[in-house]
Structure 1
Amino acid sequence: DIRYLGCELIQSGAILLKLSQTAAATAQILFQRFYYQKSFVDHNFEHILCACLFLAGKIEEQPRMPTDVINVYHRLKQLHQHRRKISCGGDISNGNPQHLRPKEFDHLELDGDEFTEMKKNLLESELCLLNVLGFVVHESDPNATKEEINRSKELLQKAWSYMNDGLRTDIFLRYTPETIACACIHLAAKTIEYPVILPKSPPWFELFDVSDCDIRLISKMLMCLYTRKRAPSLDFINSQLKLHQKEPSDSNKKEEFGTDKAYADIRKVVKERAVKASKKDDEKAAKVKEV
């Protein structure tokens, strides 16, 4: 649910920020990669998803100001909470325009404490994201493979939709772009209004070195997205994460990254060497006294 909700908010945020779908996809993959290595309990997923949007804009040469990212997420959070109130815990219909028109919003003051704190969290989370991913942030785009198969406009549009919805899962971390593209085309060929019969002898996907088993597994994961009856609750997820969070010790209240971490490591090594040198001097002094 956390991965799904995070990617859903990133997709909506990218639309409001007027980022391309490529940038939205990059942000969602960064989000998935980060939480393959780190825990949702230890790292606030709201801070990280904002950092993913902010960083993806830079990667795809569509940079957005921190202020814009913060205001967009603040609005999205209120939209999400308003939508939950309308749904009353039942099925959510995205066709219902009420959830897009709350009567009022709480606006952020640019010189207020809340905005200052959110901006600080955004910049720190971006640095954390880069360090965890080892500054490897350029992602492969499976849309390039999909475009090689131009069977019909409807099939391509359907495959494109499946691929974008698949960003809410972790398939982009588990399979190659070619495998994902083939699975989306396979699923689209069966579900469009006039199904397209793809070559079977030999299987068309062997051209891309893709297995039938992987295609079926990805197709199943994608279809599971459409059986969800409720949208994840942001408040519920945050409350559950807080139950598992531990208070940081005094010695490790703030994790250091980048140059700060490098300087901290150097200071630690220098201190250890100084202690060792001091012990050696004491031992020499003791031997001199004995003589």
Structure 2
Amino acid sequence: MSITIYPLASLSQIEKTPSREDGIPPELEEDLRAYGCKLIHEAGILLKQKQVAVATAQILFHRFWYVTSMKQFGIGDIGMGALYLASKLEECPIRMRELINVYDLLLQRASHTTGSTSSAQQYSDFKYVPMSYFGSTFYDLKDALVVAEMQILKRLGFNVHVVLPYGTLVNYLRVLGLTSREDVCTRAWGYLNDALQTPVYALYPVPTIVSAAIMLTTRHLGISLPSSPENRWWELFDAEWEDVWSVCGYIMRLYRERDAEDQKRLWGTAETLNARGRTAADI
């Protein structure tokens, strides 16, 4: 990772990630990243964790896959380790047992929903079966959590500094005179949270990401901002047009529709990589 105020992926890491080197298609890697971040977000809600810890965990999760292949470690395990580490960094630690229980619930539910034949059946007949604390499942997940946290620290070189975008968003909206619009603030904030499911926080500086959120918001709400060649609003925040547009593309791809077969394929791949990653970690 390159060294700036906060670490960003290098050009060589962006062009060919370790997972791509191992034969994982770019689209599948992108979907697996989003799925892992979704699990982190859901776990954070169930654990009543602070948003700053959840966001930090998602950013660390993305950084990890620019230095490590998904064939080496499981998506769920690294997400669990990232959330556990982030809770310490943001001084809102969570109990290991509670985190393991929540991830076990989420993984069981994901397995059930992908096997359901209809959307109505996905949640209606799901029943969580708690693991036995004297069985192997709990200790396997506990070992995976410890290994994941250790590997994140090791492979990121203990450089786990994260800059979150929320304060910057408020300042930029104030400069643009948009803080009085509640719909603008809410939608832009939502785009920043959705962007956590994409790798943009490991690729671009915060001003560029915030500018992209503002651009998507103003375009969807029909708000005009200065964009003439001599008076471009994003240049006020030292953001490049090509980078802002690229971040917008990453965010909008999250909203594309996926059919049931795509979801089953994604879950099956994540489950396979999880099992393979734990075997590799044991070796």
Q: Specify if TM > 0.5.
A: yes
Structure 2 CA distance for partners of 1:38 and 1:200, relative to 1, 3 Å: same
Contact 2:209 2:247 in 1 (8 A): yes
Measured in 1, the distance between the counterparts of 2:270 and 2:227 equals: 48
The reply on whether 1:189 has 2:189 as its aligned counterpart is: no
- Could you tell me the TM-score, scaled by structure 2's length? 0.78
Structure 2 CA distance for partners of 1:239 and 1:21, relative to 1, 3 Å: closer
Instruction: Choose the corresponding residue for 1:127, options 150, 154, 166.
Output: 150
Q: How many equivalent residue pairs? A: 242
Contact 2:39 2:76 in 1 (8 A): no
Contact 1:155 1:188 in 2 (8 A): yes
The amino acid of 2:43's aligned partner reads G
Deviation >6 Å, runs of 4+? 242-245
Residue identity over aligned pairs, in percent, reads 33
Q: Which residue of 2 aligns with 1:81?
A: 111
Structure 2 CA distance for partners of 1:126 and 1:61, relative to 1, 3 Å: same
Q: Secondary structure at the match of 1:147?
A: helix
The reply on whether 1:198 has 2:230 as its aligned counterpart is: no
Measured in 2, the distance between the counterparts of 1:214 and 1:87 equals: 41
Measured in 2, the distance between the counterparts of 1:11 and 1:238 equals: 17
Structure number with the bigger relative contact order (C-alpha 8 A, sep ≥ 6) is 2
Measured in 2, the distance between the counterparts of 1:179 and 1:24 equals: 21
The amino acid of 1:155's aligned partner reads V
Structure of greater Rg = 1
Contact 1:2 1:232 in 2 (8 A): no
Measured in 2, the distance between the counterparts of 1:52 and 1:210 equals: 29
Structure 2 CA distance for partners of 1:232 and 1:4, relative to 1, 3 Å: farther
Q: Which residue of 2 aligns with 1:219?
A: 248
Measured in 1, the distance between the counterparts of 2:271 and 2:162 equals: 32
Q: Which residue of 2 aligns with 1:146?
A: 169
Contact 1:82 1:102 in 2 (8 A): no
Measured in 2, the distance between the counterparts of 1:108 and 1:240 equals: 20
- The offset of 1:80, in angstroms, is 1.4
Structure 2 CA distance for partners of 1:100 and 1:18, relative to 1, 3 Å: farther
Instruction: Choose the corresponding residue for 2:197, options 130, 145, 168.
Output: 168
- What is the alpha-carbon root mean square deviation over aligned residues? 2.5
Structure 1 gaps, min length 5: 255-291
Structure 1 residues 164-212: Cα deviation after superposition (integer angstroms, max 9, x where no partner): 11111111111100000000011011113xx221122511111110011
- The offset of 1:76, in angstroms, is 0.6
Structure 2 CA distance for partners of 1:243 and 1:79, relative to 1, 3 Å: closer
- Could you tell me the TM-score, scaled by structure 1's length? 0.76
Q: Which residue of 2 aligns with 1:8?
A: 38
Q: Which residue of 2 aligns with 1:158?
A: 187
Structure 2 CA distance for partners of 1:87 and 1:222, relative to 1, 3 Å: farther
Structure 2 gaps, min length 5: 1-30
